[in-house]
Amino acid sequence: MPGTSPAIEIRGLRKSFGDQTVLDGVDLTVAAGTITALLGPNGAGKTTTVGVLSTLLRPDAGTVRVAGHDVVGAPEAVRAAIGVTGQMSAVDDLLTGVENLRLMASLHHLGKRAGRQRVDALLEQFGIADAARKPVATWSGGMRRKLDLAMTLVGSPSVVFLDEPTTGLDPRSRRTLWDEVTALAAAGTTILLTTQYLEEADRLAHRVAVLDRGRIVADGTPADLKATHDAGTLDDVFLRLTEPSTEASAGASASAQSATTTEEVAR
Ligand SMILES: Nc1ncnc2c1ncn2[C@@H]1O[C@H](COP(=O)(O)OP(=O)(O)O)[C@@H](O)[C@H]1O
Ligand SMILES: [Mg+2]
């Protein structure tokens, strides 16, 4: 619940693959019941961060706590508290929607009766009950993504990680998913999502953190970030903070000045 101890606490997180340092001292705190968007250019380390938070990757250094548990010291407790939707779907195409969800329910040891009830409730909640008995291979991309999120929620997690949940979705499916995520947070679930869509972060997230070159280079509400960087849109903020190279930044800061006249889109 908002106001209590943070749902996610990352301090000095470092992670390298071989001699490539991907996370170079990441600090991030996420309040319970809020939506935080983790932004960053391709290869910035968003998926790596989610991997560490969800105990799939071991941090090299730093402290990472999720739902009050240390990811290294108490990975099982973390796993029991979280739901993860990865960039690669966990949905099995050959199974029906119901079968996919029931598989999740049994993985969560829900028991037959409780499992069925949970599955039915999720099918209803996500509006996929009609298609639920057809193989997922026949479903649209938007419906599959809903099933993916429903599967993430089977164990009633208090903290949910969504890695690029709307990439490749059409605008209508994207909005439906936004509504679901908003409703989840309103019900007290903490959400950390990664996205490449700045508009998505702007609309959906209470807080935005920008990851670049292994560090969080900006962190605040969308309104704060726009005000701090004197930018009309999060796109402008993002482009200014994540310069592709130092050579480009001299010229880019001049163009960034002119970008301050960009009208803020009313919403
Ligand atoms: N398992 C891995 N082994 C080696 N390199 C990896 C591995 N996972 C990610 N990387 C590298 O780490 C960097 C960050 O990747 P990633 O976290 O997937 O970025 P993002 O999700 O922000 O696009 C990339 O350069 C990627 O190639
Ligand atoms: Mg990624």
pLDDT in tens, 48-62: 999 999 999 999 999
pLDDT band at 255 (very low <50, low <70, confident <90, very high): very low
Burial 204-217 (b: 16+ CB within 10 A, else e): bbbbbbbbbbbebb
For the cut 90, the answer to whether the pLDDT of residue 245 exceeds it is no
Ligand 1 centroid, distance to 255 Cα (angstroms): 30
What's the number of domains the chain is made of?
Answer: 1
- Mean residue pLDDT of the chain comes to 88
Assess if residue 3 is contained within a domain: no
Q: Is 247 a domain residue? A: no
Per residue in 83-139, pLDDT tens? 999 877 789 999 999 999 999 999 999 999 999 999 999 999 999 999 999 999 999
* pLDDT one-digit tens code per residue, 185-216: 999 999 999 998 888 999 999 999 999 999 99
Residue 255 lies in a domain: no
CB atoms within 10 A of CB 11: 14
For atom 13 of ligand 1, which residue has the closest CA? 43
pLDDT digits (tens, 9 = 90+) for 149-174: 999 999 999 999 999 998 888 888 88
Query: 204 or 252: whose pLDDT is higher?
Result: 204
Mutate to test the pocket of ligand 1, among 22, 23, 42, 60 (most ligand atoms within 8 A of CB): 22
237 inside domain: no
Instruction: Flag whether 264 is in a domain.
Output: no
CATH code for position 211: 3.40.50.300
Is the residue at 230 inside a domain? no
Nearest CA to ligand 1 atom 2: 17
pTM over 0.75: yes
Cα–chain center distance at 127: 22
Q: Which helix (H) or strand (E) holds 200?
A: helix 198-204
Judged by its nearest atom, the ligand closest to the C-alpha of residue 213 is 1
145 within domain boundaries = yes
pLDDT for 44 equals 94
Q: Residue 259 domain-assigned?
A: no
Q: Which residue range(s) make up the domain with 19?
A: 8-220
